[in-house]
Amino acid sequence: MKTKILTVCRTLTALLVTLWCTAASAQERRELDDATWTVESPDRHTKVIVSLNRGQLTYSAGYTLHNESRDYVELLEPSPLGLYTNEGDFSRNLEASGEPIISTRTVNYTLRQSKKHQVSADYTVALFPLHAEGQKPFTLEMWVGDHKLAFRYQLPIQGEHAALVVNGEATGFNLPNDATGFISPQSDALIGWKRTKPSYEEEYVLDVPMGTPSKYGHGWTFPCLFRVGEKGWVEISETGLDGRYCGSHLSEGTKEGLFTIAFPMPEENNGFGSTGAQMGLPGTTPWRTVTLAPNLAPVVESTVTWDVVEELYAPSQDYKGGRSTWSWIIWQDESIVYDDQVAFIDLASALGWEYCLIDGGWETNIGRDRMEQLFAYAKSKGVAPFVWYNSNGGWNDAPQCAKHRMYSPIVRKKEMAWLARHGVKGIKVDFFGGDKQETIRLYEQILSDANDYGIQVIFHGCTLPRGWERMYPNYVGSEAVLASENLVFNQHYDNMEGQNACLHPFIRNAVGSMEFGGTILQRHLTRSGKGGRTRIVGDCFELATAIAFQNIVQNFALTPLDLKEAPAFEIEFMKQVPTQWQDTRLIDGYPGKYCVLARQAMDGKWYVAVMNAEKKAKTLTLDLNLLNSTILSAQLPGGKAARGQWQMVSDGADGKTPAQSAVTADKKGLVKLTVGPQSGIVLF
């Protein structure tokens, strides 16, 4: 085998890339039949090794230690690459068409709707020109950055054929066999309430060994987090998905740790549509992303999901984030009537919040004429409405109205024009049918049409967002998680709330906006505040989730009863809590046990959320030096976060005595705190 080490050439042009990929001689191709190439990130922290051996293409990945010998730690073992298409098998009998083309790239962009506002990221970009048996050309595109990598396949026109169907992928991720997973199963199709699954709402299994079977036997939903012993962590997902491809997930894993890309099940979308992807050529697949590091901070803080995608259209206006009231989550279906919606508009106004979400059932219970009156009332109170819609179509039996208004483009545009005329700023569309290309196209069509009318979009009962915050400027967020409604439905989920909340910053919310709809201050989850499901975690744990869970429009679960019964400091905190962030830092944590997460608001102010899911108190020493920033000079004495005085809301060491106080870091920038069992703290 011939080994080739890639070097970075900063002056290669697109013309050279094209010429080099097409002009390799037959002799050069023979020499490249067996070869290994190493691609390092510009900072040399991350290394990917791509190998072509006996016609099969693989890659492995890891990080280098900051020691004198720069020892290499492999977290992904050699993993397969390739596609299966109607034009041929692009996974075996492969040959290189020339040497890989290497360049460096810095991406700079503004990300309005996620965990970091101004992003600058450096990558080494490698293009591997290849051809399959019968001289079928394609290119592996690999981006390698600091503790992250992304790759996809580029497919040119195949002879006379300008179209292609991808039936499946050989693409895999080979974890060491001692790795353990923090993963959520892909559900059966057409099960659950009114045949609305799969909807990315299954429970996680934690720290499970390789080869653990999934609940339904269909593999695991993205994102998937793995711990590789004491070596580090790996998070796997995908991004850049639009209507030109289907959504995918990971297969059942082997005991040796190999997972491969799995496509949708035939039963999804009520059995309608292909399980593969129809592609016009030239075309590209979505990106597969991997974040890998010795600790969890790069996983939580990674922006690889958005680094490799681009905005698909310009925003039609300057979309605004904010806070929203939402009657349905506690008051349920019976609240979707005119007078109750007025009460929640008044609540939004009293809290100084920007929005009020009017949920499913309004078309029957309120009617379109009175909805126009409600829209006018909201405007008079300085509150903008979001309005709920059922996505179907023919793929679920959910009875809630308004129905059949988002599927048809003609009806959809008329509906959006009506909403825009009456000052509605957003829609929430629910109950999608799976991950088939047919369904992904519908997401994109709704977003694109809504932008024409200045409307923002939330998705529920839906797939994971895959880079959509940057791709679609009017996109707000997606549920795609076992969200707050389950706290009302079943006490089991209230009992598990702490554990689940301490998973999301590391897994689901690390790769995309998460419309959870939480921060419940009532102890009993009913309209009267008596009976029903009982909240287990402390009040300040709930306040901490308002920081730890990221979505640019947050539909919080406060009710008018909270204004009477919740401590005044809790209401004051919720009046001023931000939803748009310019930076995110993980200070400490372990998935499912505890999380200490800091987010920096647009005014430079830091908020630190501390959540303890365990049933005993935990004493933590927080190093606030991690938050030092030049922006903080106006916020904290001496311009140093570590030495400033912070306001603190805490459930107390017993988890039962919420109070507000002040805390000051010591001279080393450290703060020692005791957070009670299943309780929380927020510093701000």
Q: Are 206 and 591 in contact (CB under 8 A)?
A: yes
pLDDT of the residue at 108: 98
What is this structure's pTM? 0.94
Residue 132 lies in a domain: yes
Nearest Cα residue to 451 out of 475, 481, 486: 475
Structure tokens at 327: 């009657």
Residue 86 lies in a domain: yes
Residue 109 lies in a domain: yes
C-alpha to C-alpha distances, 216 to 185, 188, 434, nearest whole angstrom: 7, 6, 15
C-alpha to C-alpha distances, 1 to 30, 37, 51, 385, 513, nearest whole angstrom: 12, 11, 10, 64, 45
**pLDDT at 242 exceeding the cut of 60:** yes
Nearest Cα residue to 129 out of 82, 169, 95: 95
**pLDDT at 20 exceeding the cut of 50:** no
Rounded mean pLDDT, 395-413: 93
Work out whether strand 426-430 and strand 384-390 pair parallel, antiparallel, or are unpaired: parallel
Work out whether strand 355-358 and strand 384-390 pair parallel, antiparallel, or are unpaired: parallel
**pLDDT at 163 exceeding the cut of 60:** yes
pLDDT of the residue at 637: 41
pLDDT of the residue at 642: 56
Rounded mean pLDDT, 400-416: 95
Q: What is the DSSP string of 620-673?
A: EEEEGGGG--GGGGGTSGGG-GGGSEEEEEE--TTSS--EEEEEE--TTSEEEE
Rounded mean pLDDT, 642-649: 83
For 482-498, give one letter per residue: b (16+ CB within 10 A) or e. Answer: bbbbbbbeeeebbebbb
pLDDT of the residue at 68: 78
Q: Are 584 and 360 in contact (CB under 8 A)?
A: no
Rounded mean pLDDT, 452-478: 98
Angstrom distance (rounded) from CA 411 to CA 313: 22
Strand, helix or coil for residue 338: helix
Collect all residues with Cβ–Cβ distance below 8 Å to 27 and sequence separation of at least 6.
none
Angstrom distance (rounded) from CA 612 to CA 561: 27
pLDDT of the residue at 70: 84
Angstrom distance (rounded) from CA 573 to CA 649: 9
pLDDT tier, 635 (very low <50, low <70, confident <90, very high otherwise): very low
Segment 228-239, tens digit of pLDDT: 999 999 999 999
Residue 580 lies in a domain: no
What is the CATH number for 88?
A: 2.70.98.10
Q: How many CA atoms lie within 13 A of 366 on its CB side?
A: 27
Structure tokens at 378: 């909201």
pLDDT of the residue at 629: 54
Beta strands in 392-516 (DSSP E): 426-430, 456-459, 475-478
Strand, helix or coil for residue 567: coil
Residue 21 lies in a domain: yes
Q: How many CA atoms lie within 13 A of 148 on its CB side?
A: 25
User: What 8-state DSSP symbol labels residue 156?
Assistant: -
pLDDT of the residue at 69: 78
Angstrom distance (rounded) from CA 516 to CA 61: 33
Largest pairwise CA distance in the chain: 81
Structure tokens at 570: 């809790």
Q: Are 460 and 428 in contact (CB under 8 A)?
A: yes
Segment 344-366, tens digit of pLDDT: 999 999 999 999 999 999 999 99
pLDDT of the residue at 79: 98
pLDDT of the residue at 24: 40
Segment 601-626, tens digit of pLDDT: 999 999 999 999 999 999 999 999 88
C-alpha to C-alpha distances, 351 to 325, 484, 541, nearest whole angstrom: 9, 21, 20
Residue 606 lies in a domain: no
Q: Are 539 and 675 in contact (CB under 8 A)?
A: no
Cβ count near 563 (within 10 Å)? 15
Rounded mean pLDDT, 422-437: 97
- With a pLDDT cut of 90, the percent of the chain lying above it is 89
Residue 388 lies in a domain: no
Collect all residues with Cβ–Cβ distance below 8 Å to 456 and sequence separation of at least 6.
319, 386, 425, 426, 427, 450, 474, 475, 476, 553
pLDDT of the residue at 7: 38
DSSP H or E stretch at residue 206: strand 205-209
pLDDT of the residue at 17: 35
Collect all residues with Cβ–Cβ distance below 8 Å to 372 and sequence separation of at least 6.
422
**pLDDT at 568 exceeding the cut of 70:** yes
Work out whether strand 322-326 and strand 355-358 pair parallel, antiparallel, or are unpaired: parallel
Segment 70-104, tens digit of pLDDT: 899 999 999 999 999 999 999 999 999 999 999 99
**pLDDT at 168 exceeding the cut of 90:** yes
Residue 74 lies in a domain: yes
User: What 8-state DSSP symbol labels residue 385?
Assistant: E
Which ranges of 381-435 does DSSP label H, i.e. alpha helix? 409-421
Helices (H) and strands (E) in the chain, counts: 18, 38
The tally of domains found in the chain comes to 1
Tell me phi and psi for residue 441, to 5 degrees.
-60, -40
Q: What range defines the domain where residue 173 resides? A: 2-307
Segment 547-557, tens digit of pLDDT: 999 999 999 99
**pLDDT at 332 exceeding the cut of 60:** yes
Segment 673-684, tens digit of pLDDT: 999 999 999 999
Residue type, 164: L
For the beta sheet containing 679-683, the strands, ordered from the edge strand earlier in sequence to the opposite edge, are 581-590, 594-601, 606-612, 679-683, 645-650, 659-664
Look over the chain and give the mean of its residue pLDDT values, rounded to a whole number. 93
**pLDDT at 631 exceeding the cut of 90:** no
Segment 502-545, tens digit of pLDDT: 999 999 999 999 999 999 999 999 999 999 999 999 999 999 99
pLDDT of the residue at 643: 60
pLDDT tier, 67 (very low <50, low <70, confident <90, very high otherwise): confident
Q: Are 186 and 199 in contact (CB under 8 A)?
A: no
Rounded mean pLDDT, 320-331: 98
pLDDT of the residue at 641: 55
Angstrom distance (rounded) from CA 604 to CA 641: 11
Query: In degrees to the nearest 10, what's the CA dihedral of 485, 487, 489, 490?
Result: 150
Count of residues in the chain: 684
